[in-house]
Amino acid sequence: MTAQVTPVTSAPSASEGFKLSVHSLFKRSCGGIFILSSLVLVLGWVFKIGFFTYLVPGWPTMKPITAIGCMLLSAALYTSISPQKNKLSISLTLVLIFVSSATILDTLFSTRILTNDGLYSLPSDATAICLALSGWAVLSIHFKRYFISGLLAWSCLVLIIFRLMRLLLEGPQASYASIFDSMSIHTALFLGGLVVVGILLHPRLNYHRLILSPDALGVFARWGILLVLFLPTALITTVLRLAERQNANIESLLAISITLMSMFLVVVYYRILNEIKTREEAKHELISQLQTMMDVAPNGILLVDNNGVIQKTNPATNNLFGYNEGELLNSSIDILVPDNYRSVHSDHRNAYMLHPSEKKMAEGRNLVAKRKDGSLFDVEVSLAPMYLKGKQYIFTQVIDVSTRKALELKQQELNEQLSSSNAELQRFAYVASHDLRAPLRRISGFIQLIQSNYEGKLDTQADEWIDRSVENLERMQEMIDGLLRLSRISSEVEIYQPVSLQTIINEALELLSHQINKTKVHINVGLEFPDVMADKAQMLTLFENLISNAIKYGNSDAPEIHIAIHNQTSQKVVVMVRDNGIGISEQHLNDVFDIFKRLHSYQEYEGNGIGLAICKRIVEQHQGKIWCESTIRKGSTFFVELHKVQ
Amino acid sequence: MNDPNRPAQVLLVEDDLDDVTLMRESFKINRFKANLHHVENGLKCLDFLYKRNDYVDAPTPDLILLDLNMPVMDGRQVLENIEADDKLKHLRVVVLTTSTNEEDVLKMYKLRCSSYIVKPVDFHKFQKIVTKLTGYWFELVVLPPNGQ
């Protein structure tokens, strides 16, 4: 049996073909032969044609009831394979069950339900039982009880094989001893053939695929079937021979118990097979999942043995390195390494093989790999040791990082460009504001000369225009000064020292004392401001600007300013400066920090629109944050987040 | 004190003619009677001081008002020259510039300039500076005799 198994890799499709060919073989010939021959037998009996009542000339005749049973079984099986004839098959099966059951009843209780002493004489006990088992087996198929059906069919087959073994040992004239060897040889062959075909026809109960499969399940099934089928049969035959038919009752008892044992073994066998099958399927599923993963993985995956020889590659590896499928197999991993790095690489590899561990290479250095055409590309490689059948392998993953590297380089370039253009912009702002001062100073000088020398000597219109020019020049001067101050903040070197916010705020208030006294603003300063890492002069400018703004845009009737810690963590502190003044509408909350952004006319509130831009620049320079919350006509609060001294 | 009959000799080293005019006008407004001499770069300034080329008849200035950024020869080089020459190093040089560069300030003092003044943008303020400047150099301090 094992000899027939061919070690083909595509086992499923081979057995598929086998099943299909049995199918059509039965449909076209076997089925017909079985039906025809049993029909001939039945007709032989009906019309008393002696010749047709023999299955094999020279052998005893087949009893008519047996012939009818065989005909019904073959027809039921034949129709059971096509779904359209389901009902016909069920009907035939039911008739078969009726005939066999009636026969068994007649045998057991000597009734005459179906049989008589004439034409329809009693068939042998074993034949009746086999017919009944087959009938129930076919019925079970229709009700999708495949396990029961298989059990019934295989039991039937065991009985028949047992009978055939006995006939084989004692010759065709083996005499009647118990119900289990009462079946005649032709009935046994005919029925046996039918049952085998039936089992092959219904894949759910045929185990031949299982037995033929090359995997672990097949191996177990092939060896197990010897134990399950042939051991009990051989055992019972031997026992019967030893007993020399001295006591038929004891023989029958033995035969029944051994048959039961055999059926029990079949059940156990089936369960074990099922379990193995489940596990095999799970394994296959896992393998196919892993295979798919290997196939679709975007990274190169290689299995390398401990001599550095490539044992397995995935498609991505071949694509990455420009090799054809299978071309890399059995070559050294070193061919993927640039020539000048090869000797170092093989040293590294040997060292790694002594102490293999899961490892990511290329951390902190650039790894380069070589394609088949000799071109090089950046890679990242990770390694993991693997033990297969006691041999050590290295599971290697290769990621092409050349695109990423190129992007990183590009990003670095862009960053450099950006910072250089930023520096240029700052330099520009400085130079522009600086160089604009000279002509402005001259214009302003001449205008003021005209103002002082010619006031009242021209008409009043001229005097007014001169005054306006002077005013505008003053504003322009302020703006340019502001721009110059702003650009200086960015160009100053950042060396920060611990600065006491408390001191800074007090100094800022001191600087603004004139403004404070003039507006009679009430200023409420919180306590215990922490020290921050900052540039002292810039901090002073920051708070001077914020407080001065709060005074300028404050409440005209009862101005109040509140300076306090909004919240703080161990690292940062948020200071707030709150006024009860005119407030800022929501749409302008972010604009207030823009340079030269003014929300009010110059006539309403003087200013150059640069104070908050300077604040923002200072805070950003300190890696802090500045933002503002406000309700119109209720007041504004400015928040500044700074880094505390650690 | 200084000879009241001898008009003050002031040398303005300045490349921009507008600035020269404005300086003249502020002298006028201040009623400061002085001979304001003007040269437009450092090289001509040295010619003036050494009384050579076009400036053979030039007087020794009581005060030099020196701009820093000029073409041909800038104020820094002029100051280096004056500092290095024993015959010139007693001259009073006031640096008058728009540069607020801290390095410049330090460097000019190291070259022993007498004062460093940043020109304000506002003309009124400039005028006040001129008032203070002339008051200091021509009324307060004593200068070496005989126009040296």
Q: Do B121 and A440 touch (CB under 8 A)?
A: yes
Give which of B17, B96, B121 to mutate to test A binding, by max A Cβ within 10 Å: B121
A window 200-259, beta carbon within 8 A of B: none
Residue of A nearest to B121 (CA): A441
**pLDDT value at residue A248:** 56
Residue of A nearest to B97 (CA): A438
Contacts of B14 in chain A (CB under 8 A): none
A480 touches chain B (CB under 8 A): yes
Nearest CB to B122: which of A438, A449, A477?
A477
Residues 6 or more apart from A263 whose CB is under 8 A from it? A151, A155, A158
Q: What is the pLDDT of residues A375-415, one digit of tens each?
A: 999 898 888 888 888 888 888 899 988 888 899 999 999 99
Listed residue (B53, A482, B83, A437) closest to B95, CA to CA: B83
Listed residue (A189, A199, A110, A194) closest to A152, CA to CA: A199
Contacts of B124 in chain A (CB under 8 A): 448
Contacts of A438 in chain B (CB under 8 A): 16, 98
**pLDDT value at residue A8:** 38
Q: Cα angle at A597 between A596 and A600, to 5 degrees?
A: 115
Q: Which residue has the higher pLDDT, A278 or A603?
A: A278
Spell out which chain B residues touch chain A, with contact meaning CB-CB distance below 8 angstroms: 16, 18-19, 22, 25, 29, 98, 119-124, 126
**pLDDT value at residue A13:** 46
Instruction: Please report which confidence band the pLDDT of residue A65 belongs to, taking 50, 70 and 90 as the band edges.
Output: confident
The C-alpha of B71 sits at a distance from chain A's nearest C-alpha, in angstroms, of 15
The C-alpha of B36 sits at a distance from chain A's nearest C-alpha, in angstroms, of 18
Mean pLDDT of A463-491: 82
A537 touches chain B (CB under 8 A): no
A344 touches chain B (CB under 8 A): no
**pLDDT value at residue A274:** 80
Does the pLDDT of residue A614 top 90, yes or no? Answer: no
**pLDDT value at residue A62:** 75
Residue of A nearest to B119 (CA): A441
Instruction: Please report which confidence band the pLDDT of residue B20 belongs to, taking 50, 70 and 90 as the band edges.
Output: very high
Contacts of A448 in chain B (CB under 8 A): 122-124
Mean pLDDT of A195-213: 69
**pLDDT value at residue A467:** 87
Say how many CB pairs under 8 Å bridge A and B: 40
Give which of A427, A440, A444 to mutate to test B binding, by max B Cβ within 10 Å: A444
Instruction: Please report which confidence band the pLDDT of residue A4 belongs to, taking 50, 70 and 90 as the band edges.
Output: very low
The C-alpha of B90 sits at a distance from chain A's nearest C-alpha, in angstroms, of 31
**pLDDT value at residue B46:** 93
Nearest CB to A441: which of B25, B29, B121?
B121
Listed residue (A82, A193, A214) closest to A141, CA to CA: A82
Nearest CB to A442: which of B18, B29, B124?
B18
Q: What is the pLDDT of residues A77-134, one digit of tens each?
A: 888 877 778 888 899 899 989 988 888 888 878 777 777 776 677 777 788 888 888 8
Instruction: Please report which confidence band the pLDDT of residue A10 belongs to, taking 50, 70 and 90 as the band edges.
Output: very low
Instruction: Please report which confidence band the pLDDT of residue A174 belongs to, taking 50, 70 and 90 as the band edges.
Output: low
Does the pLDDT of residue A363 top 70, yes or no? Answer: no
Quick one: angle between helices B75-84 and B42-50, nearest 10? 30
Q: Do A446 and B22 touch (CB under 8 A)?
A: yes
Backbone angles phi, psi at A3, to 5 degrees: -65, -25
Contacts of A440 in chain B (CB under 8 A): 121
Cβ-in-10-Å burial (0-12, 13-18, 19+) of A313 comes to buried
Give the C-alpha separation, A105 to A115, whole Å.
10
Give the C-alpha separation, B96 to A424, whole Å.
28
Q: Do A442 and B120 touch (CB under 8 A)?
A: no
**For A66-80, A248-262, A562-576, B33-47, which range has the lowest pLDDT when averaged over its residues?**
A248-262
Contacts of A444 in chain B (CB under 8 A): 121-123
- Percent of chain A at pLDDT > 90 equals 13
Q: Do B121 and A442 touch (CB under 8 A)?
A: no
The C-alpha of A429 sits at a distance from chain B's nearest C-alpha, in angstroms, of 15
A465 touches chain B (CB under 8 A): no
Residue of B nearest to A448 (CA): B123
If one counts every other C-beta atom within 10 angstroms of the C-beta of residue A513, the result is 9
Give the C-alpha separation, A105 to A128, whole Å.
10
**pLDDT value at residue A41:** 77
Instruction: Please report which confidence band the pLDDT of residue A360 belongs to, taking 50, 70 and 90 as the band edges.
Output: confident
Residue of B nearest to A440 (CA): B121
**pLDDT value at residue A28:** 55
If one counts every other C-beta atom within 10 angstroms of the C-beta of residue A580, the result is 20
User: What single DSSP character describes residue B136?
Assistant: I
Q: Do A448 and B123 touch (CB under 8 A)?
A: yes
Q: Do B121 and A452 touch (CB under 8 A)?
A: no
Strands of A70-206, DSSP E: none
Instruction: Please report which confidence band the pLDDT of residue A278 belongs to, taking 50, 70 and 90 as the band edges.
Output: confident
Q: Do B123 and A441 touch (CB under 8 A)?
A: yes
Q: Do B25 and A445 touch (CB under 8 A)?
A: yes
The C-alpha of B19 sits at a distance from chain A's nearest C-alpha, in angstroms, of 7
Q: Which residue has the higher pLDDT, A521 or A31?
A: A521
- Percent of chain A at pLDDT > 70 equals 81
Q: What is the pLDDT of residues A17-40, one digit of tens each?
A: 555 555 566 555 666 677 777 777
**For A12-26, A344-358, A371-385, B26-40, which range has the lowest pLDDT when averaged over its residues?**
A12-26
How high does pLDDT run on average in chain A? Answer: 80
Mean pLDDT of B32-57: 91
Does the pLDDT of residue A1 top 70, yes or no? Answer: no
**pLDDT value at residue B14:** 92
Q: What is the pLDDT of residues A241-273, one digit of tens each?
A: 666 555 556 656 666 676 677 777 777 777 787
Asked if A303 contacts A387 with a C-beta cutoff of 8 angstroms, the reply is no
Residue of A nearest to B126 (CA): A445
Q: What is the pLDDT of residues B134-146, one digit of tens each?
A: 999 988 888 887 6
Residue of A nearest to B22 (CA): A445
Contacts of A452 in chain B (CB under 8 A): 29
Contacts of B120 in chain A (CB under 8 A): 441
**pLDDT value at residue A31:** 64
| Polymer length of chain B | 148
Contacts of A437 in chain B (CB under 8 A): 98, 121
Q: Do A445 and B123 touch (CB under 8 A)?
A: yes
Q: Do A445 and B98 touch (CB under 8 A)?
A: no
Q: What is the pLDDT of residues A617-630, one digit of tens each?
A: 889 888 899 999 98
Give which of B15, B26, B29, B123 to mutate to test A binding, by max A Cβ within 10 Å: B123
If one counts every other C-beta atom within 10 angstroms of the C-beta of residue A181, the result is 28
Contacts of B122 in chain A (CB under 8 A): 441, 444, 448, 474, 477
Nearest CB to A438: which of B25, B29, B98?
B98
Q: First-to-last CA distance in chain B?
A: 14
Strands of chain B, DSSP E: 8-13, 34-39, 63-66, 93-97, 115-118
Q: Do B18 and A444 touch (CB under 8 A)?
A: no
Nearest CB to A441: which of B25, B29, B119?
B119
Q: Which residue has the higher pLDDT, A95 or A193?
A: A95
**pLDDT value at residue A155:** 78
Q: Do A480 and B16 touch (CB under 8 A)?
A: no
Q: Which residue has the higher pLDDT, A380 or A555?
A: A380
Residue of A nearest to B125 (CA): A445
Q: Do B22 and A481 touch (CB under 8 A)?
A: no
**For A1-10, A307-316, A423-432, A508-517, which range has the lowest pLDDT when averaged over its residues?**
A1-10
Quick one: angle between helices A146-170 and A231-243, nearest 10? 40
- Percent of chain B at pLDDT > 70 equals 95
Asked if B121 contacts A444 with a C-beta cutoff of 8 angstroms, the reply is yes
A474 touches chain B (CB under 8 A): yes
